[in-house]
């Protein structure tokens, strides 16, 4: 079977349940026309922030866009995980405030909106956030300690988004979705080291090609 | 849940003998035991009835198994909720628990007597052991033929196959001269007919225990105690969020008001059992202003010190495959070089990718290509983790916040900070596990500081001035109110709590039948 470049082979495995296939497939097509949660300004900051936090060009095939910004924005309006840090406002509000704080900080430090900063300046500003050095003590913005706390939520949300994406799972050779089909629940026969089963994907990510000894 | 049994139902105007809030490890064994002895029983469960075949290994979607009413987490070690502690749906947290099922160490019942720190339980292991053995026998627990730390112990099922992390931890233990074994796991490794439920299949090594077991191999309450309860005439009501406890002029409980599909209902009862866990049980008591003459409701919230150490190996590890946490060592239950009281269990760790990545992402500040490379190391990663004693501390507690939830009820605020004992244990474990991984060639070793589980807040003891319930789980203040969950644990102990919760649940049921 030939696959369009955007449709990972694992989606056609008979080790995938119908429900899991539907969940994974839904992540391939995400509407990017309008932000659902964030303001346009905050959305743009997030969009400029993600590539310096976690570039995917060494993982995914060239030209693949997994719409991370749109999916995170949508996830913020969906079911959350049942808790939050007491020193942060509710998630959607915290993200809006954090991203605007970042934008204001960029303007104050460099005289430019965050989206106009060169990637290395965006990166060093993010480093300063994670280090607890960036914050604003005014309404609608987060303090430095809140920004540091939020940066953990940011990192967590980003890895949730990518590791649950079937294109990333395919590229990294991850078989975690392939626990079993609807009629036959196969599980895994081999569970020890260096024992990939035929139905499990091989990693294709360019950054894994030099070091992959699983073949 | 099997649908082969037609479930008995009760009218809201019926005064049922026992109304139970919560269908997990605390509520379900008791429901089955009371029903089996002829009592009329209704179980209110806030979550839905999930069909096991519908569970998905997709970690984001599988969060439907978590308790999703928002909690606020504070303190110097604010705890993550959801995975590893709080569930929803018929079966409670056991729907997503890891099924690691060690027994409590006999010494952990008497930590205060032994060390002058912590709190003693009002009884010892000998009192709980018959109930522990009944639980293990009924739900199905696998384990080794010879358990190094308890030669008398027997398990009915052979262990599942050791995955990569389990094999690597064995090597690490051997390198440092530690004993190791296949740990007790609440899953079955051959097909069986479970009484009142039907066929449960042998574990298929799919590795998605935390996302819900699809073939009935994992021993939860949904495939054991709950069908038994139904077979003996209990009614299970999913989708019912209980919020108000009603009483008569003498202060005794008369019923519970709950919301189902947006409509308020009232169920009358002769006896009420709270089995909603260490946050929701005290939250119910605090919002209703009940059973708190001791001032102890919500106090002494505890967790387990659950430090993890991960490393990367040259081999293709594939940490999603196989039962995640098979290898155990109990050699650290009272380490000779300890600068802390109590002890900890060590287990091997495989893990699903989003969960693993969350731990990595939140415990480091790496970014850019280095972050991508770290995540790409998933298939080469193996971990070990601990569960260790966490002392009760006055600053750790559950209270009502100023924020209201969708029902207009205050959201719970959970304050959790490590004290010196928890930090000393964390550092001890981080050193030891790092040495073990270094000894077997792991690279990029990473220590993750985290706490898991939730314990305490409605302490059990002999003295009404400093405890919420007596040694069999009965409220000191209201004689027809009982608590059956981990909120009554006086101390955390090191063992994962599910087995002791179920054993205590049977014991409380027995006490209720005698009254």
For residue B124, give both structure tokens: 């010892």
Kindly state the percentage of chain B with pLDDT values over 70: 99
How many domains does one find in chain A?
Answer: 1
Residue A63, number of CB atoms within 10 A of its CB: 8
So what's the pLDDT on residue A33?
79
pLDDT range class, residue A30, cuts 50, 70, 90: confident
pLDDT range class, residue B91, cuts 50, 70, 90: very high
Burial class (CB in 10 A: 0-12, 13-18, 19+), B4: exposed
So what's the pLDDT on residue A5?
57
DSSP string, B9-74: ---TTSEEEEEEE--STTTHHHHHHHHHTT--EEEE-SS----GGG--S-TTGGGGGB--S-EEEE
Mean pLDDT of chain A: 94
Integer Cα distance of B445 and B437 in angstroms? 8
Kindly state the percentage of chain B with pLDDT values over 90: 97
Is B81 an interface residue toward A (CB < 8 Å)?
Answer: yes
End-to-end C-alpha distance for chain A, whole angstroms: 23
Integer Cα distance of B280 and B411 in angstroms? 10
Residue B195, number of CB atoms within 10 A of its CB: 11
A-B Cβ pairs (cutoff 8 Å, strict) = 209
Establish if B198 belongs to a structural domain. yes
So what's the pLDDT on residue A213?
46
**For A122-162, how does the pLDDT look when each residue is reduced to its tens digit (9 = 90+)?**
999 999 999 999 999 999 999 999 999 999 999 999 999 99
Residue B322 has its nearest CB partner, among A20, A131, A191, at A191
pLDDT range class, residue A2, cuts 50, 70, 90: very low
Establish if B6 belongs to a structural domain. no
Establish if A117 belongs to a structural domain. yes
Higher per-residue confidence, B496 vs A34: B496
How many domains does one find in chain B?
Answer: 1
Contact between A45 and A35 under an 8 Å Cβ cutoff? The reply is no
CATH number at residue B219: 3.50.50.60
- Which residues numbered 476-515 in B keep a CB inside 8 Å of some CB on A? none
- Which residues numbered 17-56 in B keep a CB inside 8 Å of some CB on A? 53-54, 56
Integer Cα distance of B111 and B391 in angstroms? 10
* Separation in Å, CA B292 to CA B19, B250, B295, B476, B478: 20, 16, 5, 9, 10
Inform me whether the pLDDT recorded for A6 exceeds 90: no
Establish if A169 belongs to a structural domain. no
Higher per-residue confidence, B93 vs A78: B93
**For B432-484, how does the pLDDT look when each residue is reduced to its tens digit (9 = 90+)?**
999 999 999 999 999 999 999 999 999 999 999 999 999 999 999 999 999 99
Mean pLDDT of chain B: 97
Task: Go through B121-146 and write b for each residue having 16 or more CB atoms within 10 A of its CB, e for each that does not.
Answer: bbeebeebeebbebbbebbbbbbbee
Regarding pTM above 0.95, the answer is yes
User: Is B475 strand, coil or helix?
Assistant: strand
ipTM for the assembly = 0.96
Q: Tell me which residue range forms the domain holding A146.
A: 28-163
Residue B75, number of CB atoms within 10 A of its CB: 18
- Spell out the residues 6+ positions from residue B251 whose beta carbon is closer than 8 angstroms to its own: B477, B478
Nearest residue on chain A to B71, judged by CA atoms?
A83
Integer Cα distance of A71 and B3 in angstroms? 38
So what's the pLDDT on residue B294?
98
* Separation in Å, CA B485 to CA A133, B93, B393, B475: 43, 12, 20, 13
Contact between B461 and B453 under an 8 Å Cβ cutoff? The reply is no
So what's the pLDDT on residue A211?
53
Establish if A85 belongs to a structural domain. yes
So what's the pLDDT on residue A79?
84
CB contacts, 8 Å: A82 with chain B:
63, 66-71, 81-82, 86
Kindly determine whether residue B316 and residue A84, on different chains, have CB atoms separated by under 8 Å. no
- Can you list the pairs that B373-377 forms with residues at least 24 positions away whose Cβ atoms lie under 8 Å? B373/A58, B373/A207, B374/B444, B375/A54, B375/A59, B375/A159, B375/A162, B375/A163, B375/A172, B376/A59, B376/A172, B376/A203, B376/A205, B376/A207, B376/A208, B377/B312, B377/B444
For residue B4, give both structure tokens: 């082969």
**For B195-204, how does the pLDDT look when each residue is reduced to its tens digit (9 = 90+)?**
999 999 999 9
Establish if A86 belongs to a structural domain. yes
Is B179 an interface residue toward A (CB < 8 Å)?
Answer: no
pLDDT range class, residue A4, cuts 50, 70, 90: low
So what's the pLDDT on residue B83?
76
Q: Tell me which residue range forms the domain holding B393.
A: 15-514
pLDDT range class, residue A32, cuts 50, 70, 90: confident
Kindly state the percentage of chain A with pLDDT values over 90: 87
For residue A150, give both structure tokens: 């939020």
Establish if B439 belongs to a structural domain. yes
**For B9-50, how does the pLDDT look when each residue is reduced to its tens digit (9 = 90+)?**
999 999 999 999 999 999 999 999 999 999 999 999 999 999
Residue A87 has its nearest CB partner, among B74, B163, B367, at B74
Is B63 an interface residue toward A (CB < 8 Å)?
Answer: yes
CB contacts, 8 Å: B67 with chain A:
82
Kindly determine whether residue A159 and residue B164, on different chains, have CB atoms separated by under 8 Å. no
**For B216-244, how does the pLDDT look when each residue is reduced to its tens digit (9 = 90+)?**
999 999 999 999 999 999 999 999 999 99
Q: Which of A41-50, A167-176, B75-84 has the lowest mean pLDDT?
A: B75-84
Contact between A175 and B320 under an 8 Å Cβ cutoff? The reply is yes
**For A44-86, how does the pLDDT look when each residue is reduced to its tens digit (9 = 90+)?**
999 999 999 999 999 999 989 999 999 999 999 988 888 999 9
Establish if B4 belongs to a structural domain. no
Kindly determine whether residue B367 and residue A126, on different chains, have CB atoms separated by under 8 Å. yes
Is B86 an interface residue toward A (CB < 8 Å)?
Answer: yes
* Separation in Å, CA B144 to CA A95, A135, B153, B224, B494: 49, 54, 9, 22, 20
Residue A77, number of CB atoms within 10 A of its CB: 13
């Amino acid at each position: 079977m030939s696959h369009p470049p955007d449709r990972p082979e694992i989606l056609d495995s008979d080790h995938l349940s119908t429900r899991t296939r539907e969940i994974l497939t839904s992540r391939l097509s995400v509407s990017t026309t309008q932000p659902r949660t964030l303001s346009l300004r905050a959305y743009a900051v997030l969009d400029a922030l993600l590539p310096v936090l976690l570039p995917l060009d060494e993982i995914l095939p060239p030209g693949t866009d997994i719409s991370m910004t749109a999916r995170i924005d949508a996830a913020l309006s969906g079911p959350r995980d049942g808790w939050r840090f007491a020193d942060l406002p509710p998630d959607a509000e915290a993200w809006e405030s954090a991203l605007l704080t970042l934008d204001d900080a960029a303007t104050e430090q460099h005289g430019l909106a965050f989206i106009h900063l060169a990637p290395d300046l965006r990166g060093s500003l993010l480093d300063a956030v994670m280090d607890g050095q960036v914050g604003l003590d005014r309404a609608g913005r987060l303090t430095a300690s809140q920004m540091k706390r939020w940066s953990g939520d940011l990192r967590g949300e980003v890895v949730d988004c990518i590791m649950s994406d079937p294109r990333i799972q395919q590229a990294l050779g991850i078989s975690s979705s392939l626990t079993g089909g609807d009629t036959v629940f196969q599980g895994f026969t081999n569970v020890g080291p260096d024992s990939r089963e035929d139905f499990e994907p091989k990693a294709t990510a360019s950054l894994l090609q030099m070091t992959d000894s699983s073949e | 849940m099997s649908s082969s049994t037609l479930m008995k139902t009760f009218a809201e105007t019926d005064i049922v003998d026992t109304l139970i809030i919560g269908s997990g490890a605390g509520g379900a064994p008791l429901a089955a035991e009371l029903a089996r002895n002829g009592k009329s029983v209704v179980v209110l469960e806030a979550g839905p009835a999930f069909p096991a075949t519908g569970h998905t290994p997709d970690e984001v979607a599988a969060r439907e198994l978590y308790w999703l009413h928002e909690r606020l987490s504070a303190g110097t070690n604010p705890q993550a909720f959801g995975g590893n502690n709080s569930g929803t749906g018929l079966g409670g947290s056991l729907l997503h628990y890891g099924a690691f099922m060690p027994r409590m160490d006999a010494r952990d019942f008497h930590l205060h007597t032994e060390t002058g720190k912590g709190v003693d339980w009002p009884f010892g292991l000998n009192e709980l052991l018959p109930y522990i053995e009944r639980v293990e026998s009924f739900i199905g627990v696998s384990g080794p033929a010879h358990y190094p730390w308890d030669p008398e112990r027997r398990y009915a099922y052979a262990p599942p196959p050791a995955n990569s992390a389990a094999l690597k931890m064995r090597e690490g233990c051997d390198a440092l001269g530690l004993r190791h074994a296949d740990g007790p796991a609440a899953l079955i490794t051959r097909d069986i007919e479970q009484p009142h439920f039907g066929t449960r299949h042998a574990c298929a090594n799919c590795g998605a225990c935390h996302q819900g077991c699809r073939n009935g191999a994992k021993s939860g309450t949904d495939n054991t105690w709950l069908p038994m309860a139904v077979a003996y005439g209990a009614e299970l009501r999913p989708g019912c969020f209980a919020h108000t406890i009603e009483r008569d002029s003498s202060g005794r409980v008369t019923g519970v008001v709950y919301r189902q599909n947006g409509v308020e209902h009232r169920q009358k009862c002769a006896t009420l059992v709270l089995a909603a866990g260490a946050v929701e049980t005290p939250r119910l008591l605090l919002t209703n202003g009940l059973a708190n003459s001791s001032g102890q409701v919500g106090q002494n919230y505890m967790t387990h010190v659950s430090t993890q150490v991960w490393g990367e190996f040259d081999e293709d590890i594939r940490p999603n495959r196989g039962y995640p946490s098979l290898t155990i060592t109990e050699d650290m239950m009272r380490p000779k070089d300890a600068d802390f009281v109590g002890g900890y269990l060590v287990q091997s760790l495989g893990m699903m990718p989003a969960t693993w990545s969350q731990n990595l992402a939140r415990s480091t500040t790496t970014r850019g290509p280095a972050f991508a490379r770290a995540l790409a190391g998933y298939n080469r990663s193996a971990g070990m983790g601990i569960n260790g004693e966490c002392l009760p501390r006055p600053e750790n507690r559950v209270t009502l916040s100023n924020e209201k939830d969708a029902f207009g009820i205050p959201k719970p605020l959970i304050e959790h900070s490590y004290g010196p004992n928890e930090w000393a244990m964390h550092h001890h474990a981080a050193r030891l596990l790092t040495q073990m991984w270094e000894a077997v060639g792991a690279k990029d070793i990473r220590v993750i500081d985290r706490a898991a589980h939730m314990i305490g807040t409605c302490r059990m003891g002999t003295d009404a001035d400093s405890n919420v319930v007596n040694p069999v789980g009965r409220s000191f203040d209201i004689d027809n109110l009982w608590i059956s969950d981990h909120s009554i644990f006086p101390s955390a102990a090191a063992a994962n709590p599910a087995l002791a919760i179920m054993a205590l649940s049977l014991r409380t049921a027995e006490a209720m039948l005698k009254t």
